[in-house]
């Protein structure tokens, strides 16, 4: 304990269902499920398609999923993935996609157990073959230039992504059946179908994570496909998301890249991330919301004008002229193809925020990944592309001297041993208030709030990771760290109410903990007042998240150990000591209690002020009384509730508690 550790992000959460909806569980749901599942066997393709579409819509409501699972919905829908009707294939795949996305890990496990991978792999390979011909359904009701094969492939790949993200057996089947080739073939449609390409990229990033058995399949041709997509020049937000996901995939397969090319490849990856993070999401929301208003206004005016034209152009029979068919007139005046598709502005903003969150998560993983060889980093740090974050410049806003990203050749420092990148620091700030107002007052835009907050939290976690692996000089020196401490303090204390969001609290306290550790290790004076620290800890210790509680206890221990070296700090040390003692004695989590003990050891290890405070708060007798309680709790609660690593740390705390008590006794400060 006492040391902050880097956090590695794993991809979490399955692909979204096609159109998520909320719903109430109705009394007829079981009867409705049985009725629709029966229709899946209907001889009419139209009826089967209707049933699949209806099931797909219902499965977006979690409360109805059990009714379908009880009737073996997976085995009913699975064969329809190879139905002779393309429409049935698409809607069946969509229904299964929604089931996997809304059902979670257990449902995905059940789907694999029910052998969904057999028809899914067959469909995927058939789609891959059919992409070159791209057949369109002959039905008249489908004559809208819809690319059926690509649409089916999109649903199938989203389903594959969901299942592989949740189930290791599915990943094994992906490897064994050589699905990579089919998936990459779909990726080649990126220039004309970016949505399909994004689905493929999401799937690839999922299946390449911690999957060494797949690496051999990434030959030069496969890598070329990925590199081509990552270098595509289009600047839409969807293309930025696509490039970000592909960059993450290339990072996952970095072991396949020749050492001589690794440096330039990593720099190319970080250049993609830099491009994504450079965009101001708040300003983009404001701009896109205005664009949406203008589009809707234009559409309304166009529809009104077209109606007027139709009414005035219908000539009377007395004119001896033919009446112009209304259908023809509408087609000739129809500008709908020139207008953006419905909610495209919202989709663009969503793509941007997803790209930024993904980029930050991958940077965090880069900070705690396996260490490359010295030669690889040497080659990388000498690359001509090392200016990917920004040129050498002084950022007046943050007080941080920004330098090109320089990668460390030290074994344990990963590669972000550089100054705090300006773009990451900017993402730690609260979202633009105007953009927040837009989101809060527009129901369709309100879900963006969760994404805005997620980006901020990922940026704070990224900052935490960089602090752990970077040298103080590379971070800009003492003044830069003090400015950063002020920035983080402002995030905590600038609001009228103390932040309560658990994810934000974990991220901000982790960053503060790492920053204060770094500053204390270099004897850099800290900017947060004891009152601020205690206020933070008082609020954080009541969090339901154990990591938050561990962080605030550690923060107090770090700050207290610094104060113990100063003059006239006994009163503050008393407050800190009382707080930590109460946590150690009353905390329900042994891990948090152990952290509190560890903090006490640091604060009261040495110094006259610490000795004075220890006597007044009766530190020694309290710890002697608590020692057997702590031992008993470890025996009773240890096994089964905590990991081997946690138990090892707790054993060290137990041993240090004995030593600390013995040390305090030698000081001769025991009250009479």
pLDDT in tens, 260-313: 888 788 888 888 998 999 999 999 999 999 999 999 888 888 777 766 555 555
State yes or no: pLDDT of 603 exceeds 60.
yes
**Sign of the alpha-carbon torsion through 267, 14, 505, 427:** positive
The mean pLDDT of the chain is 82
Top pLDDT among 616 and 392 is at 616
Residues 613 and 619: their CA atoms lie apart, in Å, by 8
Q: Write the CA distances from 60 to 92, 196, 390, 515, integer angstroms.
A: 14, 21, 44, 43
Q: Write the CA distances from 433 to 425, 428, 430, integer angstroms.
A: 18, 14, 8
* Residue 394 burial (CB count, 10 A): 11
Tell me the angle at which helices 344-367 and 281-313 cross, rounded to the nearest 10 degrees: 160
State yes or no: pLDDT of 369 exceeds 90.
no
Specify the pLDDT at position 123: 96
SS3 content of the chain, % helix, strand, coil (to 5): 70, 0, 30
Asked whether the beta carbons of 400 and 484 are under 8 A apart, the reply is yes
State yes or no: pLDDT of 250 exceeds 80.
yes
Percent residues over pLDDT 70 in the chain? 79
Q: Which of 27-41, 59-73, 299-313, 376-390 has the lowest mean pLDDT?
A: 376-390
Per DSSP, 212 falls in state G
Residues 305, 311, 313, CA angle at the centre, nearest 5°?
100
State yes or no: pLDDT of 391 exceeds 80.
no
3-state secondary structure at position 658: helix
Top pLDDT among 177 and 309 is at 177
State yes or no: pLDDT of 47 exceeds 80.
yes
pLDDT in tens, 623-669: 999 999 999 999 988 777 888 889 999 999 999 999 999 999 988 64
Asked whether the beta carbons of 479 and 518 are under 8 A apart, the reply is no
- State residue 60 phi and psi, 5-degree precision: -75, -10
pLDDT in tens, 651-662: 999 999 999 999
Asked whether the beta carbons of 89 and 82 are under 8 A apart, the reply is yes
Residues 58 and 73: their CA atoms lie apart, in Å, by 12
pLDDT in tens, 501-548: 899 999 999 999 999 999 999 888 887 888 888 888 988 999 999 999
pLDDT band at residue 375 using 50, 70 and 90 as cut-offs? very low
Q: Which two tokens stand for residue 544?
A: 């339901």
Strands (DSSP E) found in 158-236: none
Q: Which of 88-97, 122-131, 392-401 has the lowest mean pLDDT?
A: 392-401
Mean pLDDT, to the nearest integer, of 21-43?
A: 78
State yes or no: pLDDT of 321 exceeds 70.
no
pLDDT band at residue 9 using 50, 70 and 90 as cut-offs? low
pLDDT band at residue 207 using 50, 70 and 90 as cut-offs? very high
Residues 389 and 368: their CA atoms lie apart, in Å, by 20
Start-to-end CA span in the chain (Å): 33
State yes or no: pLDDT of 411 exceeds 70.
no
* Residue 235, C-beta contacts closer than 8 angstroms, at least 6 positions apart: none
For 190-226, b/e burial (b = at least 16 CB within 10 A) is: beebbbbbbbbbbbbbbbbbebeebeebbeeebbebb
State yes or no: pLDDT of 189 exceeds 50.
yes
Q: Are strands 400-402 and 393-395 parallel, antiparallel or unpaired?
A: antiparallel
3-state secondary structure at position 401: strand
Mean pLDDT, to the nearest integer, of 190-215?
A: 95
Specify the pLDDT at position 306: 67
Mean pLDDT, to the nearest integer, of 229-256?
A: 95
Using DSSP, how many helices (H) and how many strands (E) does the chain show? 29, 2
Specify the pLDDT at position 326: 37
Q: Which residue has the tokens 């020196």?
A: 477
Specify the pLDDT at position 264: 82
pLDDT band at residue 421 using 50, 70 and 90 as cut-offs? low
Asked whether the beta carbons of 182 and 173 are under 8 A apart, the reply is no
């Amino acid at each position: 304990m006492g040391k902050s550790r880097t956090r590695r992000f794993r991809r979490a959460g399955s692909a979204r269902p096609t159109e998520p909806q909320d719903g109430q569980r109705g009394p007829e749901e079981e009867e409705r499920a049985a009725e629709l599942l029966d229709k899946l066997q209907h001889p009419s393709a139209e009826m089967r398609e209707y049933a699949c579409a209806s099931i797909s819509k219902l499965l977006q409501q979690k409360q109805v999923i059990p009714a379908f699972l009880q009737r073996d919905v997976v085995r009913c829908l699975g064969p329809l993935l190879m139905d002779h009707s393309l429409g049935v294939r698409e809607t069946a795949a969509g229904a299964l996609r929604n089931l996997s996305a809304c059902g979670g890990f257990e449902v995905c496990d059940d789907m694999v157990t029910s052998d969904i991978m057999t028809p899914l792999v067959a469909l995927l390979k058939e789609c891959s073959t059919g992409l070159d011909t791209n057949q369109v359904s002959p039905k008249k009701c489908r004559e809208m230039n819809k690319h059926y094969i690509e649409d089916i492939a999109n649903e199938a790949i989203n389903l594959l992504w969901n299942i592989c993200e949740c189930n290791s057996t599915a990943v094994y089947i992906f490897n064994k059946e050589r699905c990579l080739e089919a998936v990459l073939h779909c990726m080649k449609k990126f220039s004309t179908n970016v949505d399909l390409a994004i689905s493929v990229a999401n799937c690839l990033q999922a299946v390449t994570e911690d999957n060494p058995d797949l690496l051999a399949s990434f030959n030069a041709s496969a890598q070329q496909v990925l590199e081509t997509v990552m270098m595509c020049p289009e600047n839409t937000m969807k293309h930025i998301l696509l490039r970000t996901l592909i960059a993450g995939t290339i990072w996952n397969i970095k072991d396949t890249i020749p050492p001589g090319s690794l440096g330039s490849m990593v720099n190319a990856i970080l250049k993609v991330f830099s491009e994504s993070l450079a965009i101001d999401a708040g300003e983009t929301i404001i701009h896109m919301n205005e664009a949406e208003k203008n589009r809707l206004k234009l559409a309304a005016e166009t529809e009104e004008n077209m109606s007027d034209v139709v009414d005035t152009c219908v000539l009377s029979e007395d004119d001896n002229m033919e009446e112009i068919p209304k259908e023809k007139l509408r087609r000739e005046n129809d500008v709908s193809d020139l207008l953006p598709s419905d909610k495209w502005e919202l989709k663009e903003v969503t793509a941007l925020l997803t790209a930024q969150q993904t980029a930050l998560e991958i940077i965090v993983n880069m900070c705690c990944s396996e260490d490359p060889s010295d030669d690889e980093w040497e080659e990388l740090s000498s690359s001509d592309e090392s200016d990917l974050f920004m040129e050498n410049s002084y950022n007046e806003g943050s007080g941080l001297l920004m330098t090109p990203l320089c990668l460390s050749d030290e074994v344990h420092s990963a590669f972000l041993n550089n100054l705090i990148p300006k773009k990451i620091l900017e993402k730690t700030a609260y979202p633009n208030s105007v953009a927040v107002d837009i989101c809060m007052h527009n129901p369709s835009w309100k879900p963006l709030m969760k994404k805005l907050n997620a980006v901020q939290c990922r940026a704070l976690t990224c900052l935490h990771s960089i602090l752990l692996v970077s040298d103080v000089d590379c971070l800009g020196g003492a003044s830069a760290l003090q400015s950063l401490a002020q920035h983080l303090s402002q995030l905590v204390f600038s609001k009228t109410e103390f932040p309560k969001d658990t994810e934000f609290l974990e991220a901000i306290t982790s960053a503060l903990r790492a920053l204060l550790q770094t500053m204390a290790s270099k004897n850099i004076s800290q900017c947060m007042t004891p009152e601020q620290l205690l206020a933070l800890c008082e609020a954080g210790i009541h969090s339901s998240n154990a990591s938050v509680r561990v962080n605030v206890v550690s923060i107090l221990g770090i700050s207290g150990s610094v104060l113990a070296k100063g003059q006239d700090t006994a009163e503050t040390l008393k407050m800190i000591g009382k707080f930590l003692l109460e946590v150690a004695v009353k905390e329900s989590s042994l891990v948090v209690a152990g952290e509190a003990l560890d903090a006490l050891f640091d604060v009261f290890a040495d110094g006259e002020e610490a000795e004075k405070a220890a006597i007044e708060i009766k530190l020694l007798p309290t710890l002697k009384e608590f020692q057997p309680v702590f031992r008993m709790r470890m025996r009773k609660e240890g096994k089964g509730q905590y990991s081997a690593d946690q138990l090892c740390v707790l054993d060290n705390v137990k041993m240090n508690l004995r030593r600390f008590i013995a040390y305090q006794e030698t000081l001769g400060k025991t009250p009479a």
